[in-house]
Amino acid sequence: MVRVLAAVLAAFLAASSAFAQGLIVEKKAFSMPSYTTAGGATIKDVKIGWEAVGTLNADKSNAILITHFFSATSHAFGKYAESDKAAGYWDYLIGPGKVIDTNTYYVISSDTLVNLNVNAPNVVTTGPASINPDTGKPYGMSFPVVSMKDFVNVQKALVDSLGIKKLKAVMGASMGALQAYQWGASYPDSVDRIIAVVGAPRGDAFLIGWLDAWAAPIRLDPKWNGGDYYGKEPPTEGLKAALKLITLQAQQSEWAAKAFGIAPADPAKDPAAAMDNKFKIEAALDTIAAARAATSDANSLLYLVKANQLINVDPASIKAPVLVLYAPTDLVFYAPRVGAEAKEMHAETGELPGPNGHVNGVIGVAQAGDKIKAFLAR
Amino acid sequence: MVRVLAAVLAAFLAASSAFAQGLIVEKKAFSMPSYTTAGGATIKDVKIGWEAVGTLNADKSNAILITHFFSATSHAFGKYAESDKAAGYWDYLIGPGKVIDTNTYYVISSDTLVNLNVNAPNVVTTGPASINPDTGKPYGMSFPVVSMKDFVNVQKALVDSLGIKKLKAVMGASMGALQAYQWGASYPDSVDRIIAVVGAPRGDAFLIGWLDAWAAPIRLDPKWNGGDYYGKEPPTEGLKAALKLITLQAQQSEWAAKAFGIAPADPAKDPAAAMDNKFKIEAALDTIAAARAATSDANSLLYLVKANQLINVDPASIKAPVLVLYAPTDLVFYAPRVGAEAKEMHAETGELPGPNGHVNGVIGVAQAGDKIKAFLAR
């Protein structure tokens, strides 16, 4: 009874505090005068954005790093201003009294290198759209290849700069899970626990093929122009087609059936009557892709594709305890493969069922809340 | 014992006959001076190709129609000449003594309207690449929208021309299954049984979205030119990108892992070293797509996409007994949906497991051979 009352009180306090004032976070920039990639290329003036919530304890042992997915940014929790329409993507998980309780943990989240959302406010990244200090012009396709190793090396420098010797956990979804595994492989002494959501450590031929397919429409768009489009008209149509593919593959059949069915986009324009008459889902995917394209950069998408293709962590090399949360109907990370690799790591596992396939790893993680809390507390 | 001996003898005869002389089939053309589509458009001089094996019995009650998948032709069995490298795609199922025994059944297979393989020898089809008799020029995107209803109406005219009142069965994989369902809905008195392999009757939002994604690269290719490219350089790059997507979605993770792994395309060119250095699976998909593109037509792919998007058969409208064979890891027709619709039709079902996902419905049907034989014999 006391436990129930305590839980009710905690929930009330969390809710009322959220009501009174949502979590406000400040975007900061971390910079390195020079960074040498895993492939040996040197990039000058490397910057990534980051944000944090909670209080770092005296021995700096309570920090959790959140690593973001392909099309995301550091904005995993809170709002930048009360007037923001939406909070960060895992705001329902991270905050005072939440699954990842910021009364206990200091939670950091950073932008990756070659972040997709170059044109979004608050995103700080270094990639093909950045100015090359040596030429004064954007890198374009002369930017060096980077991989999860590089994303993680730069994050390590950020974590070092805060005086943190060992992270309590690294947690991320999809490409965020790849970074979490890469942390485990690259810096085994600096990670206490890994929470990998809808992702798997090993390189995978099928995913490499799909990632190539995501990139293809950009290269087909004549405005891409070999990556040289900054200051000109960008390859928006190719970028939209790429983002449409990513949107589809991250979703699943039930989502589409429920949200759109087989209705026409315009009731006056029967899709059977003309080649250009669309179904509702086609028009919706166009709208979603256009909205995503507005803040995205085509070359950065190509670099992210390459970075994801290059993931290749041996599950046996992971020493930290791992919690694997997977979506049974995931079309990006095939559940049987995720399960097999989880077994190799003797990982604890949890299912994230739901109508959204891969996206269940972003919007449906609350259902594994108790598992996450117990895993962090153990 | 007698039955065992008889089976051994039959197998021996089938094998020796195949050894002595493979099944040779002749491609024929069926034509209609005029056909009016389900949407009300009139197409003059409609032609489709077809081929057959076996002997039509006296009361013409032993005919089975094979309807083909998206990227196939009528060539489901036999060879056109002894020197052909490969036989039809279901040659392992159809022939004397085989699962569909041509000593018992007369098996017909026809090209669809708007067949993809316009540039393949032996394909006879009417579609956007055909000459419009009214203008003397290819239709291009002025060809009317057609759907499974039209594919089936033209097949019905072919079947009528042979004096067949009722088909013993219609059987097809993927788009072939859609045609089989459409036969059941459009001509319930003319179909005794339906064998639907890796397909489902209802319209499906997610598949409509994916089909749109398959088409997108063609429209992005500037050489597509609104469909007006006949006699000019065709949009081969867009067509290849579309075919790459189709190849991927028809396959599955195990296939890719086993066939390619994460090896580089060229051992001297590490994919981590440069943006243009590819993985083996990327190069393989390029090669597969280029080979498929050589016989394919971009506009025809767009018309096939539309035809597939328009499928919408109410399972309750199907009166013929149905055998549904589905692939549990199918990425085109999601198994839980296929299963739910099979239940609505009180269909018999069979699984087609294997490493190839959707393609198990083309190459892996032998494992359901006994089920098919019993279903046809009942």
pLDDT tens by residue, A327-367: 999 999 999 999 999 999 999 999 999 999 999 999 999 99
Confidence bin at B21 (pLDDT 50/70/90): low
Half-sphere exposure of A36 (CA within 13 A, CB side): 1
For Cα atoms B21, B25, B29, give the angle at the middle one, nearest 5 degrees.
Answer: 170
Whether the CB of A142 is below 8 Å from some CB of chain B: the reply is no
Cα–Cα dist B173/B48, whole Å: 19
pLDDT at A205 (0 to 100): 98
pLDDT tens digits along B151-199? 999 999 999 999 999 999 999 999 999 999 999 999 999 999 999 999 9
Q: Distance (Å, rounded) from C-alpha A318 to C-alpha A333?
A: 19
At CA A41, angle to CA A39 and CA A47, rounded to 5? Answer: 110
| pLDDT, mean over chain A | 95
Is the CB of residue B56 less than 8 Å from the CB of residue B63?
yes
pLDDT at site A22: 82
Q: Do A336 and B205 touch (CB under 8 A)?
A: no
CA torsion, ordered B75, B81, B87, B89, to nearest 10 deg: 0
Residue A232 pLDDT greater than 90, yes or no: yes
Q: Considering only residues 54 to 113 of chain B, which have any Cβ-Cβ distance to chain A shorter than 8 Å?
A: none
B246 CA: distance to closest CA in chain A (Å): 10
Is residue A375's pLDDT more than 90? yes
Active-site residue, from B71, B74, B174, B186: B174
Confidence of residue B5 (pLDDT cuts 50, 70, 90): very low
A350: enclosing H helix or E strand: strand A348-351
Q: Average model confidence (pLDDT) for chain B? A: 95
- Checking if the pLDDT of A179 tops 60, the result is yes
Catalytic residue among A71, A109, A147, A174: A174
For strands B322-326 and B348-351, give the pairing. Answer: parallel
Catalytic status, residue A358: yes
Give me the sign of the Cα torsion angle A256, B151, B172, B122.
negative
Closest CB from B245, B252, B278 relative to A213: B245
Do residue B272 and residue A147 have CB atoms under 8 angstroms apart?
yes
Instruction: Answer whether B24's CB lies under 8 Å from B79's CB.
Output: yes
Are residues B115 and B127 in contact, defined by beta-carbon separation less than 8 angstroms? yes
- Give the gap in angstroms from C-alpha B200 to the nearest C-alpha of chain A: 13
Residues 6+ apart with CB under 8 A from A85: none
Asked if pLDDT for residue B73 goes beyond 50, the answer is yes
Distance CA A167, CA A105 (A): 10
Q: Using a CB-CB distance cutoff of 8 angstroms, which residues of chain B are in contact with residue A141?
A: 275
pLDDT at site A298: 98
| CB pair distance less than 8 Å for B262 and A337 | no
Helix, coil or strand: residue B322: strand
Percent of chain A with pLDDT over 90: 94
Are B206 and A245 an interchain contact pair (Cβ–Cβ within 8 Å)?
A: no
User: Looking at residues B40-65, what average pLDDT do you find?
Assistant: 98
B253, A334: Cβ pair inside 8 Å?
Answer: yes
Chain B residue numbers touching A265 (CB-CB < 8 A):
none
- Which whole-number Å values give the CA distances from B165 to A21, A316, B160, B169, B334, in the listed order? 75, 64, 7, 12, 34
- Hey, of B150, B151, B220, which one would you mutate to test binding to chain A, going by the most A CBs within 10 A of its CB? B220
Q: What are phi and psi of A289, to 5 degrees?
A: -65, -40
The proportion of chain A whose per-residue pLDDT surpasses 70, expressed as a percent, equals 94
Contact A221, A238 (CB under 8 A): yes
Which of B216, B253, B331 is facing A244, going by the closest CB pair?
Answer: B216
Strand arrangement of the beta sheet that strand B169-173 belongs to? B28-36, B42-53, B106-110, B63-67, B169-173, B194-197, B322-326, B348-351
The answer to whether residues A68 and A74 touch, using CB atoms and an 8 Å cutoff, is yes
**Where is pLDDT greater, at A228 or A6?**
A228
Residue B114 has pLDDT above 70, yes or no: yes
Domains of chain B listed by start with CATH number: 23-204+312-377 (3.40.50.1820), 209-303 (1.10.1740.110)
Residue B57 has pLDDT above 80, yes or no: yes
Of the candidates A217, A257, A274, the beta carbon closest to that of B220 is on A217
pLDDT digits (tens, 9 = 90+) for A187-204: 999 999 999 999 999 999
pLDDT of residue B22: 82
Whether A275 has its CB under 8 Å from any CB of chain B: the answer is yes
Residue B233 reports pLDDT greater than 90: yes
**Known catalytic membership, residue B68:** no
pLDDT at A351: 98
What is the C-alpha separation between A299 and A59, in angstroms, rounded?
A: 41
C-beta atoms surrounding B286 within 10 Å: 16
- pLDDT surpasses 90 at B10: no
Tell me, what's the pLDDT at B92? 98
Using a pLDDT cut of 70, give the percent of chain B over it.
94
Specify whether the CB–CB gap between B233 and B257 falls below 8 A: no
pLDDT at B16 over 90: no
Quick check: A209 and B38 CB within 8 A? no
The mean per-residue pLDDT over the stretch A55-78 comes to 98
Active site residue A174: yes
pLDDT at position B17 over 70:
no
Look at A253 and B334 and tell me if their CB atoms are within 8 Å. yes
CA distance B170 to B322: 10
pLDDT band at B14 (very low <50, low <70, confident <90, very high): very low
Q: How many Cβ pairs closer than 8 A exist between chain A and B?
A: 161
Mean pLDDT of A23-42: 98
pLDDT above 90: percentage of residues in chain B: 94
| Structural tokens at position B329 | 């890891």
Which candidate, B106, B94, B103, places its Cα nearest to that of B10? Answer: B103
pLDDT at A21: 62
pLDDT for A18: 44
- CB of B145 within 8 Å of a chain A CB? The answer is yes
pLDDT digits (tens, 9 = 90+) for B365-376: 999 999 999 999
Surface of A (318-377) touching B: CB under 8 A:
331, 334, 336-337
Question: Which site among B206, B246, B309 would you substitute to test the A interface, given the most A Cβ atoms closer than 10 Å to its Cβ?
Answer: B206
CB-based contact A281 B337, cutoff 8 Å:
no
Which of A285, A310, A337 lies closest to B209 in CB terms?
Answer: A285
Which is nearest to A228 in space by CA: A96, A140, A145, A118? A140
Extract the tokens encoding A164.
Answer: 């943190």
Whether B269 shows a pLDDT value over 70: the answer reads yes
